[in-house]
Amino acid sequence: MSRLVPTNLLFELLWASALFVYILALLKLTKRLYDLMISRGLKVNVAVYYNRKIIHMAAGGLVAALAPSIFTSPLIPCIFALVLALMLYIPHRKRKLLSWFQTDENMYEVNFCIAWGLSLLVLWILTDNPLLAIIPPLFISFGDAITGIIRNSVYGRRTKSWLGNIGMVAITVPVGWYLAGYTGAIAGFISSIVERLEFPPYFDDNLLIALVSSLVLITAHVLF
């Protein structure tokens, strides 16, 4: 449990708060981006999906990349991720969606926050290695995002195709290799395959990618 206690609580809370404000500002900024895309003739579903993937990268990806140099424990970033998940769930519950990036078809942006926070927490605690812990969050932030951008550009809708998975491999395998060698590369490759799977309406590719990559990394840590 000592791994859960931040060594510099005030410093880390200030950083987490600043990053949280940044994410909230980003969500507001993507409203303007949505308006711009619609004014350029993009379909509503295309603009919404682009915004979701931009948020994945600019929020989840950036914070994950910064986490090892800011936080000494996964507790604070995990709590903030779960708070954000709750904040994104409320518009669904009240049926007052933030329509420029949310859709009534699913709540996968909520799943993203949950998968991001819990995978970071579990891996950090079990391995005591923050660089391993950020791998699943980076996979769902950048890897899953590139699949969506490719498919949105090619097909103009949310769909699954191997073209997107090839793009994900190009992201996750190098990232995994850089942070964890062969194990990370394998985790990236397997994650890029399971991205094609989802079990709507609740269990999506964000959860699957985080779960599978975490299992690969934990297994390798235990065995080797």
**Model confidence over 149-191: pLDDT tens digits?**
998 888 766 666 778 789 999 999 999 999 999 999 999 999 9
In angstroms, what CA-CA distances link 32 with 36, 47, 141? 6, 11, 22
pLDDT, position 210: 96
Name the least confident of 100-104, 107-111, 179-183, 194-198: 194-198
Q: Are 139 and 172 in contact (CB under 8 A)?
A: yes
**Model confidence over 182-197: pLDDT tens digits?**
999 999 999 999 987 7
**Model confidence over 43-76: pLDDT tens digits?**
999 999 999 999 999 999 999 999 999 999 999 9
Q: Confidence class of residue 205 from pLDDT cuts 50, 70 and 90?
A: confident
What gap in Å lies between CA 60 and CA 74, rounded to an integer?
A: 14
